[in-house]
């Protein structure tokens, strides 16, 4: 359950080391997102947060990785948005 009324949790499978950042697809409730950063020293996590911040139109401080910091599969928490808003903006960004 979300901590606050306006906190959304999404599942993300990160594909680091890509040629560009892009939302690939939604599959079985998991968003597949490519990031250009390598999976070392938290670079891919920072790139994911930055990219999601751009797509969703919220500040980076409103996005956090709640679970899976060292894994490719992550639970990302977004404050200040509804589930519908997040889903709509991610779908719009699908390549």
Q: In what order do the strands lie in the sheet with 7-15?
A: 22-27, 30-34, 7-15, 73-79, 63-67
Domain that holds residue 82: 7-90
Report the C-alpha gap between 10 and 93 in whole angstroms. Answer: 15
63-92 pLDDT tens trace:
999 999 999 999 999 999 999 999 999 999
Quick check: is 66 in a domain? yes
> 5 falls in which pLDDT band (50, 70, 90)?
low
Q: How confident is the model at residue 6, as a pLDDT?
A: 80
- In three-state secondary structure terms, 48 is helix
- pTM passes above 0.85: yes
Tell me how many domains the chain contains.
1
Residues written for the chain: 95
Please, what is the angle between helix 43-56 and helix 83-93, to 10°? 100
Q: Are the beta carbons of 82 and 6 closer than 8 angstroms?
A: yes
Q: How does pLDDT run across 25-73, given as a tens digit for each residue?
A: 999 999 999 999 999 999 999 999 999 999 999 999 999 999 999 999 9
Quick check: is 12 in a domain? yes
Is there a domain that residue 57 lies in? yes
86 domain-assigned: yes
């Amino acid at each position: 359950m979300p901590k606050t009324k306006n906190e959304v949790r999404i599942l993300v499978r990160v594909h680091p080391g890509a040629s560009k950042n892009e939302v690939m697809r939604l599959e079985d409730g998991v968003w597949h997102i490519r990031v250009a950063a390598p999976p070392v020293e938290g670079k891919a996590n920072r790139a994911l947060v930055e990219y999601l911040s751009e797509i969703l139109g919220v500040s980076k401080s409103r996005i956090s990785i709640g679970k899976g910091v060292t894994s490719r599969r992550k639970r990302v928490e977004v404050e200040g948005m509804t589930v519908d808003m997040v889903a709509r903006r991610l779908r719009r960004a699908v390549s």
